[in-house]
Structures are given as structure tokens and as C-alpha cells.
Amino acid sequence: MPYLTWQDKRIHYSEFRDDLRGRWPALVLVHGAGGNLYHWPPGLRRLPNHTVYAVDLPGHGRSEGSGCDQVEDYVEFLRDWADALNLSPFVLAGHSMGGAIAQTFALRYPKRLAGLALVATGARLRVHPRILEGIRADKTKVAELLAEWVHGRRATPAQRRQFVRYAMSVDTEVMYGDWTACNRFDIMGRLEDVHTPTLVIVGDQDRMTPVKYARYLADHIPDSDLVIIPDAGHMVMSEQPELTISAIAGFLERLS
């Protein structure tokens, strides 16, 4: 998989090109707090007939760097990354914290986007004190707690273990910065200024960003649609990958 250099750090991302005629805008996938690009299902990262990028944010996955503690800083990174790849207006999909990044990107750089897919996220992302207070004290305990909170009943033990492994691979301070960024994020009063066509996706068992969060997004972003996916928690794209992929693929087709 390719790398590029950003502020003297190697940034890892995946690239899949199957849109030889350029019929569709590229799809860019941004993961959530303490995550990496592999939280997105392979079928979406390699969506037939499309060009798809998935990025490891600085300090996550195989990317170097120290991470950020403000969503706005991740937005500036993402803009630089897209500039380095010379991307024309693209569809930006973000999960959880990635959704906060996507919303803020749409407010700052609307002309860079053809669409938004907001997956298991909200306009405000307040963080439970047990997460913020526990990361530095006992990251393993927090990772195991999150593995329970982010999954619905459909999730397998293997999926929960994989989530913990990914979380433990992230530096403690990077993880703390991510959750701090989430806790600071609040654009509830600015959603009507998002004029990018938007798809909002949520699992009906999501305890982290419940359905009411998704409804608020869909009710206040002018050009938006809401998809509620059954039998899925916060990790909706890994618990119900086929339904998530179908929703995003349909959204891309409508944008064309």
C-alpha cells in the first residue's frame, strides 16, 4: 500500500482504482478515534467500479506522527493529504470521530467535496468520563470496555478481540488526543451551513452515537438522507458490512 510524506512523517493509505472512465467521484474513508483504515470493510475499500482511498490518520495504523487533540487539526491534515494526491471533488466518508472530521471539512472546504457519508457519528461527541480518565491509567481496560460499548449483539468474539488489538496498537497519547478531540467537538448550531449532499448511517443498537444523534444530523443538514441499519452497533460497517456498503454505493450512484 502507498505512503506519502506529510510534515516529514510517512502517512499510510490504501488506494483502489476501478473507475477507469472517471464516472464517479472518488470515495475517501476516514476512521474513528483510536482506529485505522482496516475498520472499514474490504468490500468498501475495494468497491467495484469506483476509486476508493482509505487513510490512516497521523499516529494511527501504519502512519507516523503524534496525532491531534482537535478535530480541526485532523481536517487540515486531510486537506493537505488530498492536495498531495491532487484529488478532485470527492465523497468523504467518516466513522465516529472521522464523521466529525468530515462535517468540519464540509464547513471549511465545501468546494472540495461532492458528498458526505456520516457513519455512526453526531454533531456533538461528548465522551464518557470513564474513557478519558482511564486511557492514561489503564488503556487495556478502556479498550476492553470500548469493545463492549461499540458493538451490538451481532458482533462476534473475534470482532471484539480485533477491536481491542487495534486500539492497543495506538500510542496512549494519540488515543487520549483522539478522545479529547471528540469531547471538544460540537457543531450542533452549524449543521444548516453544511450544503454538501449527505448520507447519514447509524446502527439501531448504537450506544455511543445513538439513533437520535443520526436523526438530528438528518433533520438539520439540508440535503441529507438517513439509513438506519438493523442489528448493528457503533461498528456498523464491520457488523453489517453488506448493508453499509449497499447504502454508500447507492448514495454514490445517486450523486452521479
Residue holding cell 478502556?
142
Tens place of pLDDT per residue across the chain (256 aa): 799 999 999 999 999 999 888 888 999 999 999 999 999 999 999 999 999 999 999 999 999 999 999 999 999 999 999 999 999 999 999 999 999 999 999 999 999 999 999 999 999 999 999 999 999 999 999 999 999 999 999 999 999 999 999 999 999 999 999 999 999 999 999 999 999 999 999 999 999 999 999 999 999 999 999 999 999 999 999 999 999 999 999 999 999 8
pLDDT of 6 reads 93
What distance in Å separates the CA atoms of residue 150 and residue 237, rounded to the nearest whole number? 12
What distance in Å separates the CA atoms of residue 233 and residue 209, rounded to the nearest whole number? 9
pLDDT of 102 reads 98
Q: Does the predicted model carry a pTM greater than 0.75?
A: yes
Q: How far is CA 9 from the centre of its chain?
A: 21
pLDDT of 22 reads 80
pLDDT of 32 reads 98
Query: Hey, what domains does the chain have and what are their CATH numbers?
Result: 3-255 (3.40.50.1820)
CA-based nearest residue to 79, from 104, 100, 61, 62: 104
Buried b (16+ CB within 10 A) or exposed e, 52-70: bbbbbbbbbbebbbebbbe
Secondary structure of 31-73 in the HEC alphabet?
CCCCCCHHHCCHHHHCCCCCEEEEECCCCCCCCCCCCCCCHHH
Cell of 119: 457513519
Cell of 152: 451490538
pLDDT of 112 reads 97
* H-run or E-run covering 226: strand 224-229
Q: What number of other Cβ atoms are within 10 A of residue 83's Cβ?
A: 10
